[in-house]
Amino acid sequence: MHGIFLHRDYGAPCKGADAGYPDIRPGTAVTVRDGTGALLGMAALQGGTLRKGPLRGADDDCVFKFSMIVPERDPYRVEVGRRGVVRFSRSDLERSNWKADLTIGAYTMFGGI
């Protein structure tokens, strides 16, 4: 997630609530479904580590991870908590080495608030 965090101790733990996302935390459910809506797998967010944001400014990233093994399907529909479904095609995931990057929070072009 992307936002403004009170501390800038990169590599240290961070909380989604610090940036206004109290529902994004370790243990938040992640579901993966196929194109028909059939459940393929479930996992939980892990971690929450502060990482320097890609743009200049006071906003950084709190990174959570998850992993799961799912059957081969196309497309995959990933949802974290109740934040809405993000669709990934099989070819998109193959190109990214099976890494599904999801971001909540706005990146600004000029790094301002």
In order, the DSSP letters of 42-87 are EEE-EEEEEE--SSSSSEEEEEEE--------SSEEEEETTS-EEE
Predicted confidence at residue 67, as pLDDT, reads 95
Low-confidence ranges of the chain (pLDDT < 50): 110-113
Predicted confidence at residue 37, as pLDDT, reads 95
Predicted confidence at residue 107, as pLDDT, reads 58
- Kind plus residue range of the DSSP H or E element containing 112: none
- Predicted TM-score of the model (pTM): 0.83
| pLDDT tens column, 47-76 | 999 988 777 777 888 999 999 999 999 999
Predicted confidence at residue 108, as pLDDT, reads 53
Predicted confidence at residue 112, as pLDDT, reads 44
Which tokens go with 111? Answer: 């790094």
